[in-house]
Amino acid sequence: MRIAVLGSGYVGLTTGACLAETGNDVVCVDIIEEKVKALNRGTIPFFEPGLDALVRQNFEEGRLTFTTDVVHAVRDSLVVFIAVGTPPEEDGSADLRYVLSAARDIGRAMDGERIVITKSTVPVGTARLVREKIEAETEHPVHVCSNPEFLKEGAAVSDFRKPDRVILGVDDPGAAEVLRDLYAPFVRTGNQILVMDAASAEITKYAANAMLATRISFMNMVSRLCRRVGADVDMVRLGVGSDGRIGPTYLFPGVGYGGSCFPKDVKALACTMRELDLDSSILDAVERVNEDQKRLLAELAVERFGEDMRDRTFAFWGLAFKPNTDDMRAAPSLVTIRALLERGARVVAHDPVATRKARRILGEAVDFREQNYDALDGADALFIHTEWHPYRHPDFSRMHALLAQPVIFDGRNLYSPRAMHARGFEYYSVGRRPVAPARRLAALGARGASSPDSR
């Protein structure tokens, strides 16, 4: 099948490469000429495990090409995906200018019947708007479908190849059959292709992300309660997750969600609810709890070191909002770093892949290091924001020796408090009692410190 994908970002490039891998001829279109040139040289503009090799292989074998020529791409294809960005407006609503511009370009280029698919995350009603834009530019028949993506950053290729489900919002049985055939290689183990109307498909995407964000914010709210009363959120998480009606996923407390999806999708869905005079209070609370949680480690640092941090140096392990990506959008680390910088602290940071993008945001205000242990030398404390694998089992003796004070603020609960106490660390985590060497226990007692043998 001949396919055009408009937009060569995270979603578009993953979609194009994975569809090319199954034998389709795919052309990815982007309006940024430099990006297209880079892609033709084999340079991927972001970090996503496995995608660079997949792109290069299909490019070299001739199934995947890149261009700025929308007209040629549309006229040479039966199926056209719209996978452009939908950044948030100031009120939280999705900015559809790029989607609707792509639709207009498709309509102007069409020389026959086409199937047009919105792959971008868009609010309910967008398929209708896309159809109107296309039909205003052409007399040829068009079938506009919604096929939302469910790709996790850091696992996008795997998610596309082995989807939990494929959602098809279609307006025509014939278009549905074409798309079933297109996705057949990815659902051979029996995962579902769910066919529905376009509006239902559009809502499904937002509802799924909002539900996952809600679970995260709920457990972060519970973690605050656990810290206040001296309970252990890990035990609570296991107890709650063992209920078959709830399950264990997305119940890990932390320093809040970030990235390109959850923050903007929760806001966009809430905005849609308000526009329709519907109650958005649950979504508003999810967002509020998340923003509060991003301030947690800075709050703990102020409790420990005081407001004046002009003589303090703090190390950071992890900057990206999650592991296996270089995405710094809405990253909780930025909230903590800025709070410490505002109080006069010096920040030295390490991330395996996100340093380049973090430097664009933070500039010279942060000292970036290539090796994680180099960030620790002489620091008053270590902050952990991203659960990269190299941070999970580090050399604790080396860490203890490098740090000026063996203090760790762990926003991802990577380590056992009991083990950290035994190693001589003062250790603060999320929703668990802090631990410290004996000389610090009295000072911590007023804030709910644990006993030395606490878990």
Active site residue ranges: 261
- Residues composing the chain: 455
Helix (H, G, I), strand (E, B) or coil at 227: helix
Do 220 and 192 meet the contact criterion of CB atoms below 8 Å apart? no
For residues 27 and 8, give the distance between their C-alpha atoms in angstroms, rounded to a whole number. Answer: 10
DSSP string, 145-179: EE------TTSHHHHHHS-SEEEEE-S-HHHHHHH
Q: How far apart are the first and last CA of the chain?
A: 57
Helices (H) and strands (E) counted in the chain, each on its own, are 19, 14
Residue owning tokens 């074409």: 178
Specify the DSSP class assigned to residue 309: -
**37: alpha, beta or left? (left if phi > 0; alpha if psi -120 to 50):** alpha
Task: Return phi, psi of residue 82, to 5°.
Answer: -100, 115
Question: Is residue 360 packed enough to be buried (19+ CB in 10 Å), middle (13-18) or exposed (0-12)?
Answer: exposed
Residue 160 CA neighbour count, 13 Å, CB half: 27
Q: What angle do CA 245, 249, 255 make, to 5 degrees?
A: 130
Do 447 and 227 meet the contact criterion of CB atoms below 8 Å apart? no
Tell me the one-letter amino acid at 68: T
- Sheet containing 407-410: give its strands across: 366-368, 346-350, 313-317, 381-384, 407-410, 426-428
Residue owning tokens 């549309």: 74
Tell me the one-letter amino acid at 235: M
Q: At what angle do helices 296-305 and 332-342 cross, to 10 degrees?
A: 30
Question: Is residue 307 packed enough to be buried (19+ CB in 10 Å), middle (13-18) or exposed (0-12)?
Answer: exposed
